[in-house]
Structure 1
Amino acid sequence: MQSLLLLLPDFSLILLGALLRRTLLDADALWTGLEKLVYFVLFPALLFNALASVTIDPGRMLPLFAGGLGVLLSGFALGWLGRPLMGLSAIAFASRLQCAYRFNTYIGIAIAGKLHGALGVATMGALSGMMVPFANILAVSVLARHGQGGLWRELARNPLVIATLAGLACNLAGLEPAAPLAAVLERLGDAAVALGLLAVGAALRWGKVGGRLAGSAWLLAVKLAMMPMVAWGLGRALGLGGPAFDLLVLFAALPSASSAYILAMRMGGDGPGVAWLISASTLLGVGSLSVWLHLLG
């Protein structure tokens, strides 16, 4: 019950976003603009400020990054094993495979902050930011034969990657933003989580899932149950403890990200099927995240 109460405020914002999108604020342009604002301005500001100002021990972060990469690769491999269950074309499967390993950074940052404060935000920000390029490489490498787009160009202009690397560089160089700039970044970051969660809710979409239900169930099980189990084992094997271990498991248990839908649509894939899986993983994530947070104590 305590774990569920911890998640309640954040998932209430997601539900509020879904409600607003269908009632009071139903203009597509409004939510498209909000998503761009959060993705290109607010969230990069939060990541940069958190990473530039917190004390980071590289010796402890490297095992965490290794664990995060292991989790991503495991999710990719486990998702691929379910292909015979899908009953889908190659492009549709490639599109939906993303939902087995992509992660919703907005939800991760919100929960990490409640678990471990500023250190939790910075650590989850660093882990998520460093894993974004690898998640994109996995997704684009499978979708590339069916669409177009330069992988390295996409990575080079990804605002989360840029903000993560810039924040880490400033931190390791011992540089801190000037007080006025830090205040601006802090205010932008304060808005990032709330507006990001509202945008997640507004992006929830339902329709015909297509394919076989067993295939969709497999991908959801990989994302919400198997990946956290892998993270738990990897974390212990790598000697992680305390906040690092908690956040690795939380990272693995996060629902799928809306970026999977964006990429599928951009590369001519199965957008509706991906949208259904993202929505299902987000709603089911209330229960699964509660279980994992309870197990973490």
Structure 2
Amino acid sequence: MNYAQLLFPDFSLILCGYLVCRYTALNRTVWEQVESLTYYFLFPVLLFQSIVRTPLDLQAASSLIVAGLAMGMLSIGLSYALPYLPWIGHRINRREHAANAQIAFRFNSFIALALAERLAGPQGPQLVAVLIGVCVPLFNVAAVWPMARHAQSGFAGALLRNPLILATASGLAANLLGFAIPQWLEPTTSRIGAASIALGLMAAGAGMQFGPLARAKVLAISVLAIRHFILPLIALGLSWLMGLSPLHTVVLLAFSALPTASSCYVLAAKMGYNGALTASLVSMSTLLAIASLPFALGLAR
């Protein structure tokens, strides 16, 4: 499979946003409004639709769910621990870490769904939908907590106001209750979802600056190493310990090597943090996934 070709559309949209913002009249003033539209409306609709679309067979995928949650908890723990590690902890800015710890454990669900059927056949999309449904609420809570804590704002209030968490939780509940989006409404929600992908990635590019990466090299290397090198190794270990089937192993390893979520930038910017650094990390993660996906799937073999 040509992973570079698969990831090129995402990275090219980030590049388009960067160029349009800097070399046309569509400057930061315009893109700030695009960020708000994406964060409060487009992304929530996409998340809800993605989770509701495929029935979740929790019993059949129970071992994969446990492995996915265990991998997620370990990645969150590693990410949270970075400022306290010897040798590197004192070189990491606590505020920048609060906003960018999420880079290490969140994932791009669009690319996950695009890869699913090619890697795992007809069962692939359903297995990936299960992982998305159970992991997204955990990861969104884990992304919000350090930012709310560092800003000394109410954590519960931040969660209740977070449209991504609300959309994911309501989508999971609706799926388990057997709710389906009416057929006549599906084209509309699909188009909203497609718009959220394009605008979210372009907004990340519009806010991108590579200068912040040079000033936060230790943090950048640390979170990207967890996301693209350590997580595939953890996934391999969990698949062996839990005796996952070859199909579940391939899905978990691919899941472990995905680029980080493009909405990381939108979340950090909307909570008052340095969105430029987060956008740069999202772009680097998308580029690194071209190498980490073949690495992870090579471990499966």
TM over 0.5: yes
Q: Distance in 2 between matches of 1:238 and 1:25?
A: 55
Secondary structure of the residue that 1:65 maps to in structure 2?
Answer: helix
Q: Distance in 2 between matches of 1:186 and 1:204?
A: 27
- 2:286 is equivalent to residue 282 of structure 1: yes
Contact 1:19–1:202 (CA under 8 A) maintained in structure 2: yes
Change (3 A) 1:204 1:114: farther
Q: Distance in 1 between matches of 2:6 and 2:300?
A: 13
- 2:8 is equivalent to residue 4 of structure 1: no
Residue 51 of structure 1 aligns with which residue?
51
Number of residue pairs the alignment of both structures matches: 297
Q: 2:88 aligns with which of 78, 85, 88?
A: 85
- The residue identity in structure 1 corresponding to 2:201 is L
- The residue identity in structure 2 corresponding to 1:63 is S
Residue 205 of structure 2 aligns with which residue?
201
Q: Distance in 2 between matches of 1:130 and 1:278?
A: 22
Q: Distance in 1 between matches of 2:41 and 2:20?
A: 22
1:115-134 to 2 correspondence within 5 Å?
115=119, 123-134=127-138
| Residue 225 of structure 1, CA deviation | 0.7
1:210-249 to 2 correspondence within 5 Å?
213-241=217-245, 244-249=248-253
Q: 1:101 aligns with which of 98, 105, 108?
A: 105
Residue 255 of structure 1 aligns with which residue?
259
| Residue 197 of structure 1, CA deviation | 3.1
Change (3 A) 1:60 1:265: same
Q: Distance in 2 between matches of 1:223 and 1:161?
A: 21
Contact 1:3–1:294 (CA under 8 A) maintained in structure 2: no
Contact 1:99–1:219 (CA under 8 A) maintained in structure 2: yes
Contact 2:99–2:268 (CA under 8 A) maintained in structure 1: yes
Structure 1: gaps spanning 5 or more residues = none
Contact 1:95–1:274 (CA under 8 A) maintained in structure 2: yes
Contact 1:54–1:119 (CA under 8 A) maintained in structure 2: no
Change (3 A) 1:67 1:280: same
- 2:13 is equivalent to residue 13 of structure 1: yes
TM-score by length of 1: 0.78
- Could you give the per-residue CA deviations for residues 52-71 of structure 1, whole angstroms, max 9, x where no partner exists? 33232111344333223222
Contact 2:65–2:134 (CA under 8 A) maintained in structure 1: yes
Residue 26 of structure 1 aligns with which residue?
26
| Residue 222 of structure 1, CA deviation | 1.2
The farther-off stretch of 254-263 and 278-287 is 254-263
- The residue identity in structure 1 corresponding to 2:175 is N
Q: Distance in 1 between matches of 2:175 and 2:222?
A: 40
TM-score by length of 2: 0.77
Contact 1:88–1:211 (CA under 8 A) maintained in structure 2: no
Contact 2:112–2:258 (CA under 8 A) maintained in structure 1: yes
The farther-off stretch of 102-111 and 149-158 is 102-111
Q: Distance in 2 between matches of 1:44 and 1:122?
A: 20
| Residue 185 of structure 1, CA deviation | 1.7
| Residue 184 of structure 1, CA deviation | 2.0
Secondary structure of the residue that 1:103 maps to in structure 2?
Answer: coil
| Residue 15 of structure 1, CA deviation | 2.7
The farther-off stretch of 10-19 and 224-233 is 10-19
Contact 2:14–2:204 (CA under 8 A) maintained in structure 1: yes
Secondary structure of the residue that 1:74 maps to in structure 2?
Answer: helix
Change (3 A) 1:171 1:15: same
- Could you give the per-residue CA deviations for residues 50-107 of structure 1, whole angstroms, max 9, x where no partner exists? 3333232111344333223222222233332573314134444444433322334444
Contact 2:39–2:266 (CA under 8 A) maintained in structure 1: no
Residue 164 of structure 1 aligns with which residue?
168
Q: Distance in 2 between matches of 1:166 and 1:137?
A: 14
Q: Distance in 1 between matches of 2:132 and 2:209?
A: 24
Q: Distance in 2 between matches of 1:272 and 1:195?
A: 16
Secondary structure of the residue that 1:58 maps to in structure 2?
Answer: coil
- The residue identity in structure 1 corresponding to 2:160 is A
- Could you give the per-residue CA deviations for residues 179-223 of structure 1, whole angstroms, max 9, x where no partner exists? 222332223223333333333333432114466745532332111
Structure 2: gaps spanning 5 or more residues = none
| Percent of residue pairs bearing the same amino acid type | 37
